[in-house]
Amino acid sequence: MSLLYRVIYATHANGSHHKLALDSLQRLTRHDADAWQRLFLKHVELYLDGSKAPDKQFKDFKNHVLHVRDKFWGGAPEKVESWYAHLVTALRDRNWPEAAWCAGVLSHYYTDPIHPFHTAQSEAENNIHRAVEWSINRAYDGLKREAEALHPDLFVAAPTGPNWLKSFVCEGAEKANAQYERLIAHYDINVGVVDPPAGLDVIARELVGDLMIYAADGYARVLERAIHESGAKAPDVSLSLETMLATLKIPLKLVKKKLANAEDRRVVEAMYDELMATGRVEAALPEDDRMVRDLHAKEVIAPREQKLTALRQQRTENARPVGLQRAPARPPAANAGGIDEQPQAARAIPTPAPAITTIPAPEARAESNFTEQSAPQKLTERISMLSFEQPSMTTGISSEQQPAPPLKSAPIAETPPVAEAPPATKPARLEATQKRRGPRTYLSMNDDVEAAPSIGPKTAARLYAIGIRTVADLIDADPFAAEESLGARHITADTIADWQDQAHLVMAIPDLRGTHAQILVGAGYRSIESIGAADPTGLSADVLKFASTSEGQRVLRDGDAPDLEVIKRWIDNAAAAIAA
């Protein structure tokens, strides 16, 4: 590229949006790419100003996001289409300054949903959102070099068809959303607030760099399509005067850049201080993050909670709750317990949950079959979802499921003998039994204490010695008295309280295993109520954050964390159990 490009990139590009817009020019593949690059550089101030206008002038922050898991909530696809039309018109009219401005604005709306934190919403992400963006800003050049070395031949192909542009935006958001929890887990705000680039670990650097060059190359395809659709030809442009003027402005630009960096540092440090003091960011939350959070709560979370409340009321009216019954003692269940000596976190529900016998069973899934992301939706579904409402929950008990009234005695008529069917195979009998039984819980009050989560043979022997032999004994125990009686340094009152909470969850939530309960308690979800009311994305982020710790890895035995579908099933089962 020209001297002007290098000068602009080194001194005039203040932030990731400026650099993404400039990087896209380098990735044009048309035969006349050089002529178009020169044109945009001639009007570079308008081009770069446009790339920041949605943040600085429009402040329509809902249009900067696309929440894939919330039925593609957000206005990014529509805004991209709108500004694309403005760009095509300006190019067709040969209004080059207007075209440069529109191209800059369009670059912002297209690239924003390729940031993972613009594709979902959770408190864990809110607390570090601005710090992560600052770290990416300060590490941009290094991230770009590393990504280009790994993907030297990257070419992002744009879709075809009448809805190609909306589809393209959705594809980028889906790609970014797959990295949402990973970016949360692999960013260290304690390091990043002091040394911004160092807050991103090796995994975070690679995933962010990959998304950066994907966004730049994808926007190059959008520019190429707009130029082709307009039928415009780039004019001859001389850059000698602009080169001299840009060079003369270098000192002023450097001062402005330092001021911008100082402001970013002030914002991030204020957020960090509040996070350390209170455990969450509220007072120091920036305007854009606050607006998106509040709109998401109003338009997505509130309707979801209203439907859940209605479901609970319906189930309360129709269902007859049955309390947990103490059955005769049975030997420990191998898959309900877990790992010996595993302290976690929390408090438990005060009353036993009702048994659930009439809720349709969720699709069976192996406990260890965890993946990092769910399968992408079909292209046509993505487009149609942009204006659809969320489906309501359908876990209520239908009238067909209620027990039939007793039948009166009637004379039994003789029937001709019927040939007996061959006996069912063992797998078929087992499957039929499971279908009749429906969702089940894997722990009861009268089970041996070794069947409880986190309790292995050694710990069980210690508990036997102080009179705790069953799950009921464990639940009823005073944690502080038990700690004193055990006299084991690694078993504290908090540890025992964690075991109690884990046991409560396994007894209360159908199909929940011991390892699942350990993960949930470790992530801070201490009761069935907190799980049933949880947002799937937020719970997933919290679970992944705990799973990335050494304690979480011990629980998982260095395996994969649960994926979003598994976590959604936990939430659904908890909500159904509460409503029963």
Closest by alpha carbon to 395, among 564, 536, 532, 525? 532
Let me know how long the chain is.
580
Residue 315 pLDDT = 60
Q: Is the pLDDT of residue 98 over 60?
A: yes
The Cα 186–Cα 274 span in angstroms is: 21
Q: How confident is the model at residue 317 (pLDDT cuts 50, 70, 90)?
A: low
Selection from 183, 234, 242 nearest residue 208 by Cα: 183
Residue 102: CB atoms within 10 A of its CB come to: 24
* Cβ contacts of 277-281, under 8 Å, gap ≥ 24: 280/123, 280/126, 280/127, 281/126, 281/127
Chain mean pLDDT for the chain: 79
Give the pLDDT score at 260: 62
CATH 1.10.575.10 placement within the chain: 3-285
Write out pLDDT tens, residues 102-116: 999 999 999 999 999
The hierarchical CATH code for the domain 3-285 is: 1.10.575.10
Residue 150 banded pLDDT, cuts 50, 70, 90: very high
pLDDT winner (highest mean) among 31-45, 298-312, 314-328: 31-45
pLDDT at residue 131 is higher than 70: yes
Provide the pLDDT for residue 402. Answer: 40
* pLDDT reported for residue 550: 79
359/395 Cα distance (integer angstroms)? 7
Confidence of residue 2 (pLDDT cuts 50, 70, 90): low
* CA dist., res. 564 & res. 370, Å (int): 9
Comparing 257 with 520, the larger pLDDT belongs to 520
* 3-class DSSP assignment, residue 63: helix
Exposure string of 221-242, with b = 16+ CB inside 10 Å and e = fewer, is bbbbbbbeebebebeebebeeb
The residues, any chain, with a CB within 8 Å of residue 561's CB and separated by 6 or more, are 181, 370, 372, 519, 543, 544, 547, 548, 552
More confident residue, 267 or 117: 117
- Provide, for the chain, the percentages of residues in helix, strand and coil under a 3-state DSSP scheme, each rounded to the nearest 5: 60, 0, 35
**Looking at residue 310, what DSSP letter applies?**
H
Find the helix or strand (DSSP H, E) in which 295 lies.
Answer: helix 287-296
| Rounded Cα gap, residues 65 and 110, in angstroms | 10
Which of the two residues, 235 and 11, has the higher pLDDT score? 235
- Which is higher by pLDDT, 364 or 508? 508
- Looking up tokens 């850049």, which residue turns up? 257
Cα angle 39, 42, 46 (rounded to 5 degrees) comes to 100
- Provide mean pLDDT across the span 59-82: 95
Q: What is the mean pLDDT of residues 35-59?
A: 94
Q: Is the pLDDT of residue 326 over 60?
A: no
pLDDT at 530 (0 to 100): 92
Kindly indicate the confidence band of residue 276, based on its pLDDT and cuts at 50, 70 and 90. confident
pLDDT score of 561: 79
Tens digit of pLDDT for each residue in 342-386? 444 344 434 444 444 443 444 433 333 333 344 334 444 444 444
pLDDT value at 130 more than 50: yes
Q: 409-449 pLDDT, tens per residue?
A: 344 444 444 444 444 444 444 444 344 445 688 999 999 99
| 46 close to 101: Cβ distance less than 8 angstroms | yes
Token code pair at residue 365:
């899934």
CA 386 centroid distance within chain: 19
Q: Is 200 helix (H, G, I), strand (E, B) or coil?
A: strand
Count other Cβ atoms within 10 Å, centred on residue 52. 18
The model's pTM = 0.58
